[in-house]
């Protein structure tokens, strides 16, 4: 989880110290459509998982996004 938060912070040009699994996405400075695309791209590049915009929109926290990535990763392994 810590690595995921660090990857996300880097992608969104935020300090990892300001983000945690409990951080609400809407509370991240400049969380907008570009940030959503950036997040989707980071997940694809770093974790080889493709999430859709609607899947990400259903997430409230960074932990929710991480859970989706983990679930998708497990599903692809099966």
CATH number for position 63: 1.10.1200.10
Burial classification of residue 16, based on how many CB atoms lie within 10 Å of its CB (0-12 exposed, 13-18 middle, 19 or more buried): middle
Say whether 61 sits in a helix, a strand or coil: strand
Q: pLDDT tens, position by position, for the chain (78 residues)?
A: 999 999 999 999 999 999 999 999 999 999 999 999 999 999 999 999 999 999 999 999 999 999 999 999 888 776
Q: What is the pTM of this model?
A: 0.92
pLDDT, position 33: 93
Q: How many domains, in total, are found in the chain?
A: 1
pLDDT, position 75: 81
**Full residue range of the structural domain in which residue 28 is found:** 2-77
């Amino acid at each position: 989880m810590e690595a995921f938060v660090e990857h996300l912070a880097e992608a969104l040009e935020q300090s990892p110290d300001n983000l945690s699994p409990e951080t609400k996405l809407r509370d991240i400075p400049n969380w907008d459509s570009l940030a959503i695309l950036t997040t989707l791209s980071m997940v694809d590049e770093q974790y080889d998982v493709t999430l859709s915009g609607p899947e990400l929109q259903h997430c409230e926290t960074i932990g929710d996004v991480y859970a989706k990535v983990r679930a998708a990763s497990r599903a692809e392994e099966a």
